[in-house]
Structure 1
Amino acid sequence: MYSIGELSKRTAVKVPTIRYYEEIGLIEPFDRTSGNQRRYDPEGLRRLTFIKHARDLGLPLDAIRDLIAMEDTPGRPCSVAHSIARSHLNHIRERIARLQRLEAELARIAATHDHGTIETCGVLEALGDHHGCTTDHRSLDRE
């Protein structure tokens, strides 16, 4: 059995995050001690490791919840899990494309060769006028 602190150390997930995952039903303590401390069994450790890895890959909690539900129903087709992974991969690819547009625009702005004063600073001018941008980066999520 693992205390919440031990679980945190083994998974590199902070204690408040473990409590949050418990609160939203992603993990459950195996039992509580007479002192009402949370205790987790090896399955709790495995589940938290699963969640941590999925979060490290950027999967949203709703997708993780769906994947956990699939794990709990082993006869279900794997195609649904593949669909979740493909959907997230497409989201990541779209985000990468937006970030590349943002990178190109910032590189263009940063390459401005100003030798004057702030009154004629190309960087400040570019940031003040979106019409001068060469790429459409406005749709970039504030992530």
Structure 2
Amino acid sequence: MNIGQVSKSSGISQRMIRHYEKIGLIPAPHRRDSGYRDYASEDVARLRFIANARDLGFSIDEIGGLLNLWRNDHRASAEVKAMALAKAEELGRKAAALSAMWSSLLHLAANCHGDERPDCPIIDRISGCESAPEH
């Protein structure tokens, strides 16, 4: 398969496929006599694995570890579970932080007059000022 076919089959852009190859996340494919990359069905499976792991929030380094575990028939599922739980905990912290930012923005917007006056609690909060300076 050429890179266009693999991109379509895996749902990963050609640019990202080349990037994953460059950083060693996927092995370099065989080259045809013409110099074009020639991918196998295993490469598509690996790229789908990477895409699914990315969708779950795993980093490139974490995906590398997951790929090693995926290829290891003697892996302990406890190791995979620990990675998943650690990622879930990290995502929970990020979700809480995003929720707090969301609440703060809604509160600031509710307290902003949104008219022609220059005073604005949103600008005040972003600038670190307790109250807007008089001009």
- Does the CA contact (< 8 Å) of 1:59 and 1:88 recur in 2? yes
Q: TM-score of the superposition, structure 2-length normalised? A: 0.87
* 1:8-27 per-position Cα deviation (integer Å, ceiling 9, x unaligned): 11122111110111112211
Displacement after TM superposition at 1:30 (Å): 4.1
Query: In angstroms, what is the RMSD of aligned CA positions?
Result: 1.8
- Does the CA contact (< 8 Å) of 2:3 and 2:39 recur in 1? yes
Q: TM-score of the superposition, structure 1-length normalised? A: 0.83
Once the two structures are superposed, the pairs formed by residues 48-67 of structure 1 within 5 Å of their partners are: 48-67=47-66
The 2-side partners of 1:97 and 1:121 are apart by 26
Gaps of 5+ in 1: 133-143
The 1-side partners of 2:81 and 2:112 are apart by 49
* Counterparts in 2 of 1:33 and 1:58: CA distance versus 1, 3 Å: same
How much identity, in percent, do the aligned residues show? Answer: 27
Paired residue for 1:127? 126
The 1-side partners of 2:2 and 2:109 are apart by 50
- Does the CA contact (< 8 Å) of 1:29 and 1:39 recur in 2? no
Paired residue for 2:105? 106
Gaps of 5+ in 2: none
The 2-side partners of 1:115 and 1:21 are apart by 47
Displacement after TM superposition at 1:122 (Å): 3.1
The 2-side partners of 1:57 and 1:123 are apart by 33
- Does the CA contact (< 8 Å) of 1:30 and 1:39 recur in 2? yes
The 2-side partners of 1:10 and 1:91 are apart by 31
* Counterparts in 2 of 1:74 and 1:26: CA distance versus 1, 3 Å: same
Aligned positions, number? 131
Paired residue for 2:5? 6
